[in-house]
Amino acid sequence: MSKITKAFPEINFGGFSKNDGTLAFYSRLNALLTDDMIVLEIGCGRGAAHAVNGYKSKLRNIKGKVRKVIGVDIDPIGECNISLDEFKLIVEKQKFDIPDNSIDLIFSDFVFEHIKDPHFLLSEVNRTLKPGGYLCVRTTNRWGYVSIISRLIPDRFHRIILNKAQSFRDEIDVFPAYYRMNTHRYFKENFGPNNWEVAIWGVNGVPTYFSMSVFLMKVMDKINNIIPNRYANSLFVFARKK
């Protein structure tokens, strides 16, 4: 039995905790899907997360539930992502190889915190998404305690600490974070009521960053339950383009 399941024994019954952010995010995303949609995943990566067996894997894999799933990423390893119907490589400072107003739903999972040029990405979201289309984002919150601690730690130590804190995470999946596109304020300023219908809220899931200790995970889970929504470690953003 892993330390995570010792701290949260309910994970043994179905593979998720009582505060599972992945389950919450992808359940809501799936509720928006229709079989005629063209869906775009921004920052699709190699799809390693989709390789996990079980119920959550089925939720996360959109392929086959819609007409087409397109993935874009700056890393050509996205070609290996089996949850896509089509992969497009992002070339720096060039528009996505996707027609205007052609996408019904865009989603991105723990990618917006790594965006170096928010203006470019936002312009591509606006350009490619159809009127009435959806944007679904899960990202770390710049003002959550995990992000604050991360910014205080020099970059050269990040991989070492992550290897200790999240031993289940592959080194290839550790990326630089810029925290320019992951606050309540950013989304409220850039997804205004004249152009978007938007809902933003904070979520605290299982504190896996403390998975080196069952005791620490239990303590941080208690703390997570009393942290104000605005300072939760993850942000969910669901928006509809008017």
209: Cβ contacts below 8 Å, ≥ 6 apart: 146, 165, 166
26/109 Cα distance (integer angstroms): 10
Which string of b and e fits 78-105 if b means at least 16 CB within 10 Å?
beebebbeebbebeeeeebebeeeebbb
In the predicted structure, residue 173 carries a pLDDT above the cut 70: no
The answer to whether residue 98 is domain-embedded is yes
In the predicted structure, residue 208 carries a pLDDT above the cut 80: no
pLDDT, residue 120, reads 96
The answer to whether residue 226 is domain-embedded is no
How far is residue 185 CA from its own chain's centroid?
18
The answer to whether residue 6 is domain-embedded is no
The answer to whether residue 201 is domain-embedded is yes
Q: Which structure tokens are listed for 57?
A: 């894997």
Collect contacts of 190-195 with beta carbons under 8 A, ≥24 apart: 190/122, 191/135, 191/237, 191/239, 194/242, 195/241, 195/242
Among residues 146, 162, 104, the alpha carbon closest in space to that of 129 is found at 104
29: Cβ contacts below 8 Å, ≥ 6 apart: 62, 105, 107, 136
In the predicted structure, residue 224 carries a pLDDT above the cut 60: yes
pTM of the model as a whole: 0.89
17 pLDDT tier (thresholds 50, 70, 90): confident
CATH number at residue 33: 3.40.50.150
Phi, psi of 37 (to 5 degrees): -80, 150
pLDDT, mean of residues 6-18: 87
Among residues 201, 219, 227, 167, the alpha carbon closest in space to that of 8 is found at 219
The answer to whether residue 3 is domain-embedded is no
4 pLDDT tier (thresholds 50, 70, 90): confident
The answer to whether residue 220 is domain-embedded is no
25/19 Cα distance (integer angstroms): 11
Structural domain containing residue 43: 14-142+176-206+233-241
Helices of type H across the chain: 3-7, 21-32, 55-60, 118-128, 145-152, 158-165, 184-190, 214-224
Percent of the residues in the chain that have a pLDDT greater than 90, as a whole number: 62
The answer to whether residue 221 is domain-embedded is no
In the predicted structure, residue 26 carries a pLDDT above the cut 80: yes
The answer to whether residue 202 is domain-embedded is yes
Domain count, the chain: 1
Per residue in 50-71, pLDDT tens?
455 588 888 999 999 999 999 9
